[in-house]
Amino acid sequence: ADMFANEEGGPEPDWVVTEREQFSDFRDLNKDGKMDKDEIQHWILPQDYDHALAEARHLVHESDVDKDQKLTKEEVLENWNMFVGSQATNYGEDLTRNHDEL
């Protein structure tokens, strides 16, 4: 109700329909109509999801201009803002330290 107040008889926007489907299909695992502590934990910290690997793949996908699955110094520098804002670099903190590999 905070994000969308349905007018009487009015249609729901597509995003509301999508969110309802996501909730019922993937979030409400025990199908009781609400999320309990275990369901919230599974949603926020899924056991089968590697956050570091996902972030690394995202950085390579977005920055690899020639799509060779390798990042050159030039590609990193051209997309520096992506790396500075990345959790993989602790939001840019690791970029200010001296690294032989960089």
How do residues 44-87 score in pLDDT, each as one tens digit? 888 888 878 888 898 899 999 999 999 999 999 998 888 777 76
CB 75 within 8 A of CB 39: no
pTM of the prediction?
0.45
Q: Which comes out higher in pLDDT, residue 48 or 27?
A: 27
- Pick from 35, 57, 34, 32: which is nearest to 44 by CA? 35
Measure the CA angle with vertex 33, ends 25 and 5; round to 5°: 95
Q: Which comes out higher in pLDDT, residue 43 or 85?
A: 43
CB 29 within 8 A of CB 39: yes
pLDDT at 99: 65
